[in-house]
């Protein structure tokens, strides 16, 4: 075999004074980066195999390990970086596309960081959430054009089906197959116990998660995996997946190795067979076609469940979102370029789509202009890192947000971006029974519930600071935002005034 020219990305540093040769690191590494010599019990590390997942570092009982990114290798070049050259070397050796996982890791501008929230001072009182009730409750679904009341003042207008969220945050679509059952279980239970929703992705709903159907948004995607009458009936809402922020225009490919017996039964495909989701829905080539599927799903769920349409943020997102609303979508979910994935071509992930901030602001503004904003709720997705990001998204017009990456980080993900290998050392993006055991759902549920609780507290504190006692007062309230480091045009699209104005 000719010499490989792919440089090692990480350096495994072992402090010999602290290493007790217990071998925990060797048992935790699923990439052969840490190896024990059976003859003498000595331990050796292989930088070339290391993916930087930090599993060994975290589990080492004496903190003897450090895994650090190697500095630029060879003569420094600002454009032809080591990573750029490593990509070429990899492709020269394999002839394949560069694959990756999680959200884009390029230093894109994060516009949330260029917007600041407001607070009350002197002329309007702020509210202390510890003393007064604060409302984060959110209803997703189409709202009537107007509400009529009878003589006793009771509303007589029929309300379309709504999702009731105790906080404007849901877990985003991640299929069983791309993630382990214990990960899906953790999100399902945390959603049920926190009064929100999880999303099945397009992998169907595993039998053990059926009991959480009341908190499940079930996806119907281009592969139609796992879609049965019971799947649709046993849900809170149905989501048509058109696109994904990490890979707009691209289908899905779950490699056969990840199609275990359980995944096979849930997806209704043969064990070990690749699960290919086509790039388009083969029955959707227009808004009119989309309308047919939306209404077919409404009909088959007896008009009792909101129908969501998830689309990736692309250049013409505004007319597409408007079309989806006019086609009857009760919820439109928009996934921005920083959205995560279990597997995507690196070039697509890092170069296709637009940031969620612009897509959200533009869609919200246009739907208002067309007078149809009330006909659908907007859910923003794609790289929400903390409660402040969520507050800013709500001020830009979102009704709620989807969390994917941050939920996985709460469960242990260290963003090594090797989800597509199926060897996730944290037991998240894998079906290997030796690895999936590493995520104990009992612990996972607690961690996710804690995260949602902590973010709720922060959101209430920020709301109170702005003198509001309900998240509804912030929704689409761009007066509560000010921008920095943006061009006049960027500010105009976001509908936000510059700081100081």
Partner 1 sequence: MKRIYAKEEHCIGCRLCEIYCILEHSGHQTLVKAFADEENRPEPACRVEEDGALSFALQCRHCEDAPCVAACIAGAMTRDPATGVVSHDKDKCVGCWSCVMMCPFGGIHIDIEKGKVVSKCDLCGGEDAPACVAHCPNEALIYE
Binding site for partner 1 (CB under 8 A): 17-18, 20-24, 27-28, 59, 61-62, 427, 432-434, 437-438, 440, 442-443
Residues written for the chain: 501
Half-sphere exposure (Cβ direction) of 280: Cα atoms closer than 13 Å: 8
CB of 20 to partner 1, least distance (A): 4
Listed in sequence order, the residues at least 6 apart from 450 whose beta carbon sits closer than 8 Å to its beta carbon are: 410
In the complex, minimum distance from the CB of residue 257 to partner 1, in angstroms, rounded to a whole number: 15
Residue found under tokens 């995560």: 340
Q: CB-based burial of residue 245 (10 Å sphere; 0-12 exposed, 13-18 middle, 19+ buried)?
A: buried
Residue 24 or 327 with smaller CB distance to partner 1: 24
Q: How far apart are CA 197 and CA 147, in angstroms?
A: 27
In whole angstroms, the minimum distance from the beta carbon of 308 to partner 1 comes to: 34
Question: Measured from the CB atom, is 432 or 472 closer to partner 1?
Answer: 432
CB of 432 to partner 1, least distance (A): 8
Q: How far is the CB of 444 from partner 1 (least distance, A)?
A: 10
Q: Is 66 exposed, middle or buried (0-12, 13-18, 19+ CB in 10 A)?
A: middle
Shortest distance (Å) from residue 22 CB to partner 1? 5
Backbone angles phi, psi at 377, to 5 degrees: -90, 150
Give the span between the Cα atoms of 406 and 385, in whole angstroms: 6
Rounded distance between C-alpha atoms, residue 440 and residue 434, angstroms: 12
Task: Give the residue with the Cβ less far from partner 1, 55 or 267.
Answer: 55
Task: Measure CA 54 to chain center.
Answer: 22
Query: Do the Cβ atoms of 172 and 196 come closer than 8 Å?
Result: no
C-beta closer to partner 1: residue 5 or 20? 20
Burial track 274-309 (b if 16+ CB lie within 10 A, e otherwise): ebebeeebeebeeeeebbebbeebbeebeeebbbbb
Of 6 and 36, nearer to partner 1 (C-beta) is: 36
Residue 14 CA to residue 19 CA, distance in Å, equals: 7
Least Cβ distance, residue 27 to partner 1 (angstroms): 6
Taking the C-alpha atoms of residue 174 and residue 422, their distance in angstroms, rounded to an integer, is 14
Q: Which lies closer to partner 1 via its Cβ, residue 64 or residue 494?
A: 64
Task: Give the nearest distance from C-beta 156 to partner 1 in angstroms.
Answer: 53
Place of tokens 């500010």: 491
Strands annotated E in 80-154: 99-100, 115-117, 138-140
Helices (H), 180-228: 181-194
Comparison of 244 and 430: residue with beta carbon closer to partner 1: 430
The residue among 104, 187, 180 whose CA lies nearest residue 404 is 187
Question: For residues 72 and 432, which CB has a smaller minimum distance to partner 1 in the complex?
Answer: 432
CB 420 to partner 1: min, Å: 21
Which residues sit opposite 44 in a β-bridge? 35
Interatomic CA distance for residues 131 and 433, integer angstroms: 48
- Cβ proximity to partner 1: between 28 and 222 the closer is 28
- At its nearest, how many Å lie between partner 1 and the CB of residue 26? 10
The closest of 479, 321, 309 to 392, measured between CA atoms, is 479
**Residues with Cβ < 8 Å from 65, sequence gap 6 or more?**
12, 13, 14, 15, 19, 25, 56, 57
Nearer to partner 1 among residue 348 and residue 411 (C-beta): 411
**Minimum distance, C-beta of residue 343 to partner 1, in the bound complex (Å):** 23
Give the nearer residue to partner 1 in terms of CB position, either 61 or 280: 61
**In this complex, which beta carbon is closest to partner 1, that of residue 156 or of residue 261?**
261
Residue 442: how many other CB atoms lie within 10 Å? 11
Q: Measuring CA to CA, which residue among 330, 335, 291, 290 is closest to residue 311? A: 335
Residue 210 beta carbon to partner 1: minimum distance, rounded to whole angstroms: 20
DSSP state of 53: -
**Nearest to partner 1 of 67, 486 (CB atom):** 67
């Amino acid at each position: 075999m000719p010499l490989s020219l792919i440089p090692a990305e990480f350096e495994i540093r072992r402090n010999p004074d602290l290493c007790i040769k217990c071998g925990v690191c060797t048992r935790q590494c699923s990439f052969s980066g840490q190896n024990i010599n059976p003859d003498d019990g000595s331990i050796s590390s292989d930088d070339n195999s290391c993916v930087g997942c930090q599993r060994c570092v975290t589990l080492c009982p004496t903190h003897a390990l450090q895994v650090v990114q190697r500095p630029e290798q060879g003569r420094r070049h600002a454009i032809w970086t080591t990573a750029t050259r490593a990509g070429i070397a990899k492709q020269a050796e394999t002839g394949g596309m560069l694959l990756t996982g999680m959200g884009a890791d390029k230093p894109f501008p994060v516009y949330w960081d260029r917007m600041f929230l407001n607070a009350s001072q002197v002329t309007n009182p702020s509210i202390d959430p510890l003393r007064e009730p604060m409302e984060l409750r959110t209803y997703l679904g189409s709202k009537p054009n107007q509400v009529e009341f009878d003589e006793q003042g009771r509303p007589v207008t029929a309300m379309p089906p709504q999702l009731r969220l105790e906080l404007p945050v849901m877990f985003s679509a991640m299929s069983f197959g791309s993630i382990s059952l214990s990960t899906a279980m953790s999100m399902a239970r945390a959603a049920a116990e926190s009064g929100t929703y999880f999303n099945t992705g397009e992998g169907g709903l595993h039998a053990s998660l059926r009991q959480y159907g009341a908190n499940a948004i079930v996806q119907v995607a281009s592969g139609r995996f796992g879609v049965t009458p019971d799947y649709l009936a046993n849900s809170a809402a149905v989501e048509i997946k058109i696109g994904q922020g990490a890979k707009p225009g691209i289908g899905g490919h779950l490699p056969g190795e990840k199609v275990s017996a359980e995944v096979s039964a849930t997806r209704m495909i043969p064990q070990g067979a690749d699960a290919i989701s086509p790039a388009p829905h083969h029955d959707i080539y227009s808004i009119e076609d989309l309308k047919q599927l939306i209404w077919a799903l409404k009909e088959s769920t007896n008009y009792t469940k909101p129908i969501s349409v998830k689309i990736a943020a692309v250049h013409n997102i505004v007319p597409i979102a408007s079309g989806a609303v006019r086609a009857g979508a009760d919820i439109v979910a928009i996934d921005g370029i920083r959205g995560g994935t279990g597997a995507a071509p690196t070039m697509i992930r890092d170069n296709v789509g637009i940031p969620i901030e612009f897509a959200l602001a533009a869609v919200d503004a246009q739907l208002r202009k067309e007078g149809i904003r009330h006909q659908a709720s907007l859910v923003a997705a794609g790289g929400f890192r903390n409660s402040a990001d969520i507050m800013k998204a709500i001020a830009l017009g979102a009704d709620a947000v989807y969390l994917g990456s941050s939920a996985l980080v709460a469960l242990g993900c260290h963003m090594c971006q090797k989800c597509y290998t199926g060897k996730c050392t944290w037991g998240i993006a894998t079906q290997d029974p030796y690895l999936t055991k590493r995520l104990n759902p009992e612990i996972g549920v607690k961690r996710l519930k804690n995260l949602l609780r902590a973010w709720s507290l922060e959101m209430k504190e920020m709301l109170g600071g702005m003198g509001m006692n309900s998240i509804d007062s912030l929704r689409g309230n761009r007066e509560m935002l000010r921008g920095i480091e943006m061009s006049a045009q960027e500010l105009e699209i976001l509908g936000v005034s510059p700081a100081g104005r």
